[in-house]
A = this chain, B = another copy of it.
Amino acid sequence: MDEADGPRGSAGSVAFAPHDHARCRRAAIEDAQAHCKTAGLRLTPVRERVLEILLESHVALGAYDVLRRLTDEGAVPQPPIAYRALDFLVAHGFAHRIEKLNAYVACTAPCERHDPVFMICRDCRAVAELPSAPIARDLEREAARIGFDIGRTVVEAEGLCPSCRVGETA
């Protein structure tokens, strides 16, 4: 990967590689702010705070993990508070839901519009987000063969990230 590519650069996964994470977070927040302004969406305090919480790492957090963080900061512990913010972030591409974990991660790519591919570490729950173009093509071809009309796709690989492979028992 070209070192000149930033944390949200185009060369692929950032989650498993050392990177300037402060910049990564800042860029994601600024992207979200800019996109909301352009699109007339309201990045309210709780929505922005939830995005910040997700952006603290590339580890997937459950809705109740997020809620716990919010309540530690004074919010009342009502699940809809977390779910509503997460739903907003997912709906607009600022975060993704990981079906395999029932959990959420911040988006780490300028997510135009096809569902990404995720690589999920089973040890540390870190999630790398990859572009899905080749796999999407394969899926479309298979779907066409059986007359299926694809809406959304879930592509998640569970395994071990580079860090967690180190020292793993054979």
- Which residues of A line the B interface, CB within 8 A? 12-13, 16-17, 99-100, 117, 119, 121-122, 128, 130, 134-135, 138-139, 142-143, 145-162, 165
- Copies of this protein in the assembly total 2
Asked if A100 contacts B146 (CB within 8 A), the reply is no
Asked if A16 contacts B147 (CB within 8 A), the reply is yes
Asked if B154 contacts A158 (CB within 8 A), the reply is yes
**Which secondary structure characterizes the binding site on chain A?**
mixed
A100-B99, A135-B139 are known contacts. Are A157 and B146 too (CB-CB below 8 A)?
no
Expressed in whole angstroms, the Cα–Cα distance for A23 and B113 within the complex equals 42
Residues from chain B with Cβ under 8 Å of A99 in the complex: 99-100, 154, 156
